[in-house]
Structure 1
């Protein structure tokens, strides 16, 4: 079985409250990026355990701690399944706020259910995904979604920038989630993000915000400069995704000229 976990961007991200369990309540719209994918192969194995290998971009973690392995162990604890051989080829940049690892975990859960014929509903898979990581539940379905709680409460969202050009830029530097949260003071926003997302795209600037930008931009001026350059290049809306370091711009239906980002990771696609 060969699967292609795709990443996401965050359109707005408000840190609403600190929870007693150590997590934070958030409010964000997660929007799928269809063409920027990892590749995940899952094959049955007679060893009754998991054998995991990876290639492509370095994950920087021991194989046993990889999120795909953790997803397998969580699945196996909930459902009796056999062993597998799993290979992950990483293409989605890490430390970017694009959710590549969460996507890998979600597709692991969906793939295991299909491979072993386990009749899980989408809601059951979402509950299982929430045990693995905060952003993982979104990728079970992967449609534009209003995400609240610590990432496990999902709701449909009205509105979409379909037909526009998405540009994602990531510098060499990365931002850890812990670093991003350390500089944020949780607060409940005056306007609901779901309502703001339904506004015309040209009205998003200044209204739809990412709470992480203030502290991350102060520590990483290169990331702030990318956002400014995307606006100079004609973006209708630009923002850091998640806790960074990737920044995206949404343009009219054209391929913008972006010479300022030479040497950085740049990805473009039409939003669908």
Structure 2
């Protein structure tokens, strides 16, 4: 049995480019894992099936754990069945990459379980067939992500960030978000990674091309961002296509204080940090 922590991410920056013929957009993004995760176990079973036991109502064929396991079995001629147990804490459709992280964790876990000895580049070649965020989660930590998500360059010297993560009780489909952006969005200039060498510089440079479109389409998100800043965040931003908003705080104490105030706003609040795994 393999046990894994499947971490969420935030987009410190997200610059969206052209839409390609395959439907994907080019992007430039600086992503970072945060210490907020789902628990996954993977074990062999005496059959040729893929079983997924999850604590949320996710149809099997739409579960990225299932898709990842099915693809790994097909690519590497694995005949044995696997049982995947997924305890989800990362909300679905929240801009935190939970499903993509789950897929990457299953791939990493099956690589260990079946002793395939695949390196990260080989795993990325498979991961990009599942979704644009999945290659990042194979690498983890902090990284500059470009292309359609398949180009992942680690950034190992970013300072630790104290984060308050806030998400309201609704989902935003990534596909719908990009449809909105295609109609109303505008591109911005990517941030120079060299400018992100301190907490203050990171906070002043966080940005998301999706933010204006999402804020204008979903009531209350702008207010969450403003309240995080009012309660002491150095800055705050939408993560991915939302609806999660994260604030960067100068220290853990100020993050905890802001979180207590935000809990009065009928939203879910998580105090966390960036991690280098």
TM over 0.5: yes
- Tell me, what secondary structure is at the counterpart of 2:153? strand
Q: Are the structure 2 counterparts of residues 140 and 205 from structure 1 closer, same or farther at C-alpha, using a change threshold of 3 Å?
A: closer
**Structure 2 equivalent of residue 5 of structure 1:** 6
Segments of 5+ residues of structure 1 without an aligned counterpart are none
| In structure 1, C-alpha distance between the alignment counterparts of 2:177 and 2:11, rounded to whole Å | 15
Q: How many residues align?
A: 266
The answer to whether the 8 Å contact 1:158/1:197 transfers is no
Mapped partners of 1:180, 1:268: distance in 2 = 26
Moved more, 205-214 or 187-196: 187-196
Q: CA deviation at 1:73?
A: 1.0
Q: How far apart, in 1, do the equivalents of 2:102 and 2:181 lie? A: 27
Match of 1:194 in 2: 193
Superposition CA RMSD, Å: 1.9
Partner of 2:19: 18
The aligned counterpart of 2:30 is 29
Say which SS state the counterpart of residue 145 (structure 2) adopts. strand
Work out the CA distance in 1 between the residues paired with 2:159 and 2:237.
Answer: 14
- TM-score in terms of structure 2 length: 0.89
CA-to-aligned-CA distance 1:165-201 (integer Å, 9 cap, x gap): 2110001122111221122256654344424434x44
Deviations 1:215-269 (A, max 9, x none): 1101112111111111111111211100001100110113332323323211112
State TM-score, norm by structure 1. Answer: 0.91
> Which residue in the other structure is 1:66 paired with?
63
2:163 is the alignment partner of 1:166: yes
Structure-2 separation of matches of 1:207 and 1:6: 23
Which deviates further from its counterpart, 46-55 or 111-120?
Answer: 46-55
Structure with the higher fraction of residues in helix conformation: 2
CA distance in 1, matches of 2:52, 2:65: 9
Q: Distance in 2 between matches of 1:270 and 1:190?
A: 27
Which runs of no fewer than 5 residues in structure 2 stay unpaired? none
Describe the SS at the equivalent of 2:216. helix
Equivalent residues of 1:12, 1:193 under 8 A apart: no
